[in-house]
Structure 1
Amino acid sequence: MKRLLLLFVCLGLLAGCAGAPAQPAPTPAATPASTPVPEPTATPDPEAAWAEAAAAFRQWLPAQPGFENFSFAVQEGFPYLICVNRAASCVTVYADDGAGQYSLPYMAMVCSGGEDTPLGSFSTPVSYDWRLLSGPCYGQYATRIDGPYLFHSVPYYTQHKDDLEYDQFNQLGTPASLGCIRLAVVDVRWIYENCPIGTPVVIYDDAENPGPMGKPETLYIDPADETLRGWDPTDPDPANPWDDSYLDGTAIRSRAAAADWEAFKNSEAFTQNLTPTDLQGWSHDSAIEGTRG
């Protein structure tokens, strides 16, 4: 009897096991797809683009009326060619490429010319610390281009660095002068100190293309700020109340120009030979009557 009872128990257990639902096999976890890592892209070299644009400009300019005989050949003793785009209010300086051509875009500066600014090719004949202009008013670091037309700073009401015509400064980058080429102090001083008398200058019109390096931005002077408004923000004079961060101006500089500029800022020459703030620095070219502003 005990054996029969044990047999029935075993059979019941087997029947229960047979009726139990099968456990589902575990679903393997999905493996997330790997995100492709993009290949690093090389940063475009602006100097390569500038050189390409400069090559196109050197072909374009001699094809324009009045410039058929212009040559980009380097003139001995003059390391730079200054090209002024009157229509775009932009100055581009080209440097010697070592192969006898002014083909290297060196720096670009924002400027203001005017309807009376002459077109053509010139050589600078004389320069001045300060120059009496039409108005009368005064300009710092003036370099004559031709006749009554000069490179100079934005005009000052008097021959004092804290008496800037700030409303005229805010027009840099637009046609605003009586014919001269106005620039910020940092830029016109660069011409004054780095471009010897006799430097070749070209003035042309191309409203669509400011130049191979592009057109720099402009700075703004708040007319309501009586502390700052009388000064050009880029004037290196220690008395200038503007922050030193403005001393670089807005010029677009090539690597060579940037290195030269940093070396100059770190030299004693940077704060030497600054234009005086009184009439001691006034000079006059008696051979040429009248100077535009």
Structure 2
Amino acid sequence: MKKLILKLFQSDMRSLILIVGSFLLSITSLSQDFSSLKNCKVLRSAEFSKESLWGHINGGADLYLEYGFNILHFTELRVDSFTIRVEDYEMSDSESAFGIYSISHFKCSPLSDIPVENCQSRYQLQLLSGNHYISIVNSSGTVHEQQIALSIAKLLLENIGVAHFTLPGLFNHNLFKDHLRNLKLYKGILALQNAATSLVDYFQNYQNYLVYSLSIPLSQSYLNISLVNFVNNPSPGDFPVAYGFDTSPDESFMQYRVKISPSVFVLVEYDEPATLEEESFIKNILVHLETLEIQ
């Protein structure tokens, strides 16, 4: 009996050593990523899988999982006297990373010093490269902390590489070039509920879809363009909006739906234009969509 207990104890100890060793190796590898930063100390570092993500962002994990999540590399740094939190979300693909990035940034401005899509506010720098969505958060919003965040971003890009996201061809048109920072990608009902409640009713009965949605401000309202892909499945015949021109059920705005392929369509929603310039702008968009239509 004593031999059996000793054997079990030794086995458990070996397992514990392996677990601790792997954890320390993880911390070491994460720490090395920031070793070139001056006056930098790693306070905490961890990796969160699909199963453990709830332990880091309780209440928000399901949204990342809906988009397609692999692993989160988390590091808390002390640089000079400032505390910086670095979150590198490694998503399943570049589309998933773009989706999370697109619904996470607002009221921020791009930095020309960073060679990938990015957005900086006083307290946060966000960037997108390949299948990585990265958030760098400081605690005080000082100019010096923002410079530290920039240095961290450049260092991370050296490690993961620079990769640009390719937008759907629909949006590669001069009509949209000044508005592309407003382009969002929704990959399920949770994303729509969080960031596009006006679209929820259209999709609440469906699954396996992608919605690229671009909101363009007009003088008195907005024009919304949604590129909808039912991911290699035919578009449902009972979708709430018919093909061609229509008005919303409450007749408050115009709708136009055009088929691009059996599984892809575009939905445009807009109010009556307030100016001749806006009328011409909307007309040009509709003409552009007609060139993509299939029968």
User: What TM bracket, shorter-length normalisation?
Assistant: under 0.3
TM-score (normalizing by structure 1) = 0.23
Higher helix share: 2
Say which structure, 1 or 2, has more relative contact order (CA 8 Å, 6+ apart).
1
The structure number with the bigger radius of gyration is 1
Higher strand share: 2
